Every structure is written in structure tokens, then in C-alpha cells.
Chains A and B, each alone.
Chain A
Amino acid sequence: MKNNNIENIISLSNDLRWQIGDEFHDNLAEGIYADAAEIVKGSVHKINTKHNLRFDAKIDRIVTSKMWGFPIMFFILAVVLWLTIIGANYPSAMLASFLLDTVHPFLKGLAASVGFPWWLDGFLIDGIYLAVAWVVAVMLPPMAIFFPLFTLLEDFGYLPRVAFNLDYLFKISGAHGKQALTMSMGFGCNAAGVVATRIIDSPRERLIAIITNNFSLCNGRWPTQILIATIFIGAVVPSAFSGIASLGAVIGIAVLGMGFMFLTSWALSKTVLKGEVSTFNLELPPYRPPRFWKTIYTSLIDRTLIVLWRAVVFAAPAGAIIWLISNIHVGNTSIAALTIDFFNPFGFLLGLNGVILLAYVVAIPANEIVIPTILMLTVLFTGVSGGSGAGVMFELDSVSATGDILRAGGWTLLTAVNLMLFSLLHNPCSTTIYTIYKETKSLKWTVVASILPVIMGFVVTFLVAQVWRLFSA
């Protein structure tokens, strides 16, 4: 009975649709706009609005111009990174000396006075505490500078202009222009970038955006890039230029990542994800002066501390695992040493080493702990003095001390360059992988998104290593 009535309504609507003709949609839309115009006429009064509009348009004409758009983009990126690199040095050193030189001996003393057995003391203080302390000392200062700066830019309204500038490149790559926005989000966190791809309607273009988001260096990888560039790239030029050189290297890697993003998008859209590029409207929002202190506060609380907390949560068990694999022996050798030996030949082919590869296995949960893990394993494996026992991190008070350790571990400029490349090109962290699965609901695409960057990383580092050795030999 009820169903009949509904069918009647539907068939009535079908009849009426024929009667009113096919301009219904346009008529309705026009009607709404006409109503809106009438209402606005009655209640909105503009007093000489020209001045302000011209100001916004003036900025836009410069920052989105063909000539200045890209230079300004790179300049802003450079300034942000410069402030991060320079500004983070001092607080990092202070934190390190406090957490490692003061608190660590104090805890050791405390443990000794309470009478901890050696394994418990080692596991808790040398394993877990040191890993956490390292992550805090190395990551907190750069993040506390980078995130607020990035958020200020975001609140000011610069991101849509970046999207506008990059639209053309995405279009020729067969991808959606809004991918520029998800890419920018990825510079903060890839998992967030993957979620943000929901703004892209077409499933094809959305998949491209998801798979290639990993090429945006995330906050877990910025510190790695910055640290390695400072130690190795900065050291090969006269000290007056070392800041500029390391900055250039980091920007180079970030830009290279964008290059890989375009290349992969293009390759995908020409092969497995063929299709037309869809058009879209992007509203350039007005420039809004950010609420400076509020932005600083919320980005510190919401982004920096949350990311730091995540790093700590992952670093603690990683520290424990490193301590364990260094102290559990099979025969006369520790598990860590066995694994590193196993990885070493392959590592050599890639211009890396077994320590780095093992670190990347341990660091699958979070990119943040790659450097601490590498350092701990390098100390353990090369027997550099500084620590007191297997799996114990040394007391590290400066960037140059880190460099000494790594060089003692057999690192060269090639190792550094390839580590930076591999940090850009490897599997997403487990959070991102899980997010990709949740967003795509497809095991196949999750696997593709996880494996593809690792393969590219292997290929690129392998080629770089071969060419490098060819020329340096």
C-alpha cells in the first residue's frame, strides 16, 4: 500500500520533469542566486572596498606569478629550514647535555644504590631511557621550530597558493591539482596527508595521491635529513658555507621528493591508473594575519608534543629491543652483530651498511628513531668508546661528536648521501600503512604503496653507489 503511494510520487515526478523541461537545474540555481542578491542588497553595505581587495590581489599576483611563484616558494621553504637548522642547534645541545650527562649518571647511581641487577639496570636505563632521551634531545627543538612556522604559513593562507603554482605540474603528471594540498600536509605527517586525500573526488586521482604521499618528507624524517646534512654535507665545504651547503642539501632532497612524486604520479597515470585529469575550482582564501601566539601555542601543544609523544612511545620499546639484541648472544656473537653481518653485503651494494638497514627494520613503527638506532648500533658494532657495555648509548653532547662516531663506524660522504636518499625513498611508517589500508580498503594498493618506495630506494641508492665508486676509484 505504502509502496504504491511512493511509486506514484516517483512517477508523478517523472511526468513533471518532462513538463518543466531540462533547464530545471539551471533555473533553480539562478533562482537561488537571484534571491541571494536581493537579500544582500537589503542588508550589506560596502564602503569603498577597493583598497583591501587590491591588496590581496596584489600579493597573489606576485606569489602565483609564472616568474616569481617558484622562487618565492623555494625561498620560503629555505627560510623555514634555515631557522629550524640554526635555531635547533643550541637547545639540542643543552637538552642532550642535561638528559645524557646529568640525568643518566644520576639514574645509574640511583639504580646502583638500590641494587638493581645488571640486566635490569641495562634494560631500563641504558636501553629504554637513553633511546627516549635521545629522541627528545634531537627531535624536540627542530619540531618546536618547524611546526609553528609551518602552521603560521598555513594560517596566513599560503598553502592554496602553492597548490595554484603546482597545479600545472600535477596536471601534466596526470594527477589532481588538489594533490598539492595533500602533499603539503604530508610534509607534516604522511598519515595526515593520506587522510587529507579525501578532498579529491576521483578515485583514480585519489589513489595516485595516496601512493605518492610518502615522497613528502615527513616530520619524522626532517631531523634525519637535517642532522646528516649538517654533519657530512656541511663538512665538505669551508666552514663559512657549511650552513648554506647543508641547507641546500636538505632542500635538494625535499625537491627531489617532489620530483619523484610527479614522476611516480605520471608513471601510474600512464599505466595502471589510466584516466582523464578532472578539473576543479580552488578558492584562494583571503590572507589572514595569523594569531601569532595562539598559533605558536596550539602548534606546540597539538603537533609538536603529540608527534614527540608518538616518537617516545615507539623509541622506548625500540631501545629495549636494541639492548636485548645486543645482549642476547648466539654462540659468541650477539643477535645484533649477526644481523648486521647478514645485511652488510647488501648494504654495501647500496652504498649504505648493515647497521642502517637493521635500523630501518627496527624503525618500521616510526621514522623518528632511525638516527638514534643507527648511533646505538654503530657504537655497539664498531666498539667506539663512550658507552659502557653492549647496547648502551654514549654520552653525546654535540653534533660533531655524532659525526665522529659515525665516521669511526666507517661512514663516508657516500653513506651520508645515500642515507638521505634512502630516508626519502623507503616504506611509509606503520601508522601510515595502516591509514592507507583504512582509506583504500584494498590490500593490493596498500602493498603497492608500501613496497614501491622501498624498491625505488634500493634502485636509486644502488645506482648512486655504483656511479660514485666508478668516479672516486
Chain B
Amino acid sequence: MEIKPKSACETCPQFNADGLKKLGVNTTNFDFVVALAGNPNTGKSTVFNALTGLRQHTGNWPGKTVTRAEGGFEYNSQKFKLVDLPGTYSLLSTSEDEEVARNFILFGRPSVTVIVADASRLERNLNLVLQILEITDYAVLCLNLMDEAKRNNIEIDTRTLARDLGIPVVPTSARFNEGIPDLISAISELANGNIQCKPHRIKNIPKNIESAVEKLSKEIKNEYPDIPNSRWIAFRLLEGDSHIIDLLRKGEFV
């Protein structure tokens, strides 16, 4: 029997329809936890639905998702649990509806954090992106609403953006299911450690603050060598965040 050589496409996981299984709400025995974060009204729930096959209610207004929604998908026989977080503009504020997102990214320790951003309003969205990159080394930017950006005549050089941010950048139009396969493979590659991120760290801060942060984060690292976000904790301590101080005392970061 003659064996045909497989084309590059056939060996690619994206080519196989079997590679992806939408698992709906069935999220038992998962291998990885993936968090979906982002500004309000950037289409997180739409991305969530596209990945899980669920029909979480979506709508064109900020603040639609108020609870944490969970779903799952299977890709190359690995199970991913996906958590759709309420939208948030910043992790620096202390408002209650943003707390769910903040706590989950900090303490839920997701394997991968997918940051969904509005491509047509990238600059404003980067505020949150840069904050999340201080917290986690495993992030992918889902540059959603590319259709809208195109309509507004905005072009984005995703490779330069990926280089500047130090994480994979995947352009998508989740409403039309465009770019979702690429997003899935980026998530999978990150989760399996095939891609290493070198996340951007906030640079434009005065020298004295930078050195204070450095000093503090070194101490924190001494205490907790495995912690990925010592700089962020240093930021919060310098801010005098009593919540973080409490958690530190309770040993929540270990």
C-alpha cells in the first residue's frame, strides 16, 4: 500500500476539524484554565461563545457580563476551561464590579490569560493590557473587532505590536468567527510552553519610583521565589492597598 506524504496543511492541528471540540459547560477534568479579560464592550463574551459553543448573552453595551461565566473546549485532546471575566478598564481602581476580574487574574493563576482588546480603540485598551502584563507571563492579545477597525480605516501592524508587547497577538473578528482558529492555537502553544513570552514592563515611570519598586520586588522575590508578579505586588504595596497587605499577611500568594 502506498503511503502518501502528508502535506504541511494536513499535519497542522488547525487543519483537523477533530482538533477542536466545543465542550459547552462541561468543564470537568480540564488540563488548563484560560481567563478572558479585557475592557468592557470589546466582545469578550462573543469570543467566549465562539470558543465554547455556548450562547452567553451578548449585547452592545459596557457591563453586560456581571458574573464569571465558565465553559470549555478541547483542542488536540487537551481540555481547556475558559473563564469569561467581567470587563474592566483598569486593575488599579477599587470598584466592586472590577474586583472579580482583578482577583481571578491575580489569584486564580490561569494557565493563559487572553486579553481581548478593541482594535479600533487600541491605545485606550492598552492601559489594561500593560497592567495585566505586569501580573502574568502567559498572555495572548486577542485583537478583536478587526472588522470595525477596518471600517474605520485603521491598520494595525500586529507583528510590531507583538514584538513591543512581548506576547502573541492574534487579530480576530469574533462576531464572524474570523481568527478564532489562530487564537486557539496560540492559547494551546502558550499553555504547553511552546511559546515563551517576554511581557512588556511599564517603563515610563520616574527613576525614584522605579528604584523603589525594584527594591521592594526583590524582597518579595526573596520571600516567594516562584511568584511571577512581584513587581505588581510592589506597585500595590506602594499604593497602600490594604487588601493586598491582608492577603500577604495571610500568605495567599504562596
B92 at interface by CB-CB < 8 Å: yes
Stretch at the interface among B70-78, B105-113, B231-239: B231-239
Task: State A37–B200 Cα separation when bound (angstroms).
Answer: 14
User: Closest residue of chain B to A41, judged by CB?
Assistant: B123
Given known contacts A32-B202, A198-B97, A154 and B60 CB-to-CB distance under 8 angstroms: yes
Task: State A46–B148 Cα separation when bound (angstroms).
Answer: 13
Stretch at the interface among B12-20, B24-32, B208-216: B208-216
Q: Chain B residues near A298: list those with CB within 8 A.
A: 55
Q: Is the pair B151, A195 in contact by a Cβ cutoff of 8 Å?
A: no
Task: State A17–B216 Cα separation when bound (angstroms).
Answer: 11
Q: Chain A residues near B7: list those with CB within 8 A.
A: none
Most buried by A among B160, B205, B235: B205
Task: State A10–B241 Cα separation when bound (angstroms).
Answer: 11
B245 at interface by CB-CB < 8 Å: yes
B243 at interface by CB-CB < 8 Å: no
A467 at interface by CB-CB < 8 Å: no
User: Closest residue of chain A to B94, judged by CB?
Assistant: A201
Given known contacts A20-B238, A154-B60, A199-B97, A43 and B202 CB-to-CB distance under 8 angstroms: no
Q: How far is the CB of B135 from chain A (nearest CB, A)?
A: 13
Task: State A155–B59 Cα separation when bound (angstroms).
Answer: 5
Q: Is the pair B67, A6 in contact by a Cβ cutoff of 8 Å?
A: no
A235 at interface by CB-CB < 8 Å: no
- 30 A-B pairs whose Cβ atoms sit less than 8 Å apart in the complex: A2-B251, A6-B249, A6-B251, A9-B216, A13-B216, A13-B238, A16-B212, A31-B203, A35-B204, A39-B165, A40-B122, A42-B160, A42-B161, A43-B158, A44-B155, A44-B156, A45-B156, A48-B153, A52-B153, A154-B59, A155-B59, A159-B60, A159-B61, A160-B61, A198-B66, A198-B67, A199-B66, A201-B97, A285-B61, A288-B60
Task: Tell which of A19, A31, A42 touches B164, judged by Cβ atoms closer than 8 Å.
Answer: A42
B10 at interface by CB-CB < 8 Å: no
Q: Chain B residues near A283: list those with CB within 8 A.
A: 40-41, 62
B226 at interface by CB-CB < 8 Å: no
Q: Is the pair A31, B204 in contact by a Cβ cutoff of 8 Å?
A: yes
List A residues 7-30 near B (Cβ within 8 Å). 8-10, 12-13, 16-17, 19-20, 24-25, 27-30
| Chain B: number of interface residues, binned into ranges | 35 or more
Q: Is the pair B223, A6 in contact by a Cβ cutoff of 8 Å?
A: yes
List B residues 118-137 near A (Cβ within 8 Å). 120, 122-124, 126-127, 129-131
Q: Chain B residues near A2: list those with CB within 8 A.
A: 223, 251
A472 at interface by CB-CB < 8 Å: no
Task: State A27–B240 Cα separation when bound (angstroms).
Answer: 15
Known: A13-B237, A288-B60; 14 extra A-B contacts, CB below 8 A, are: A6-B223, A9-B219, A20-B212, A39-B126, A40-B122, A45-B157, A53-B152, A154-B61, A156-B60, A159-B59, A178-B63, A181-B63, A198-B66, A286-B148
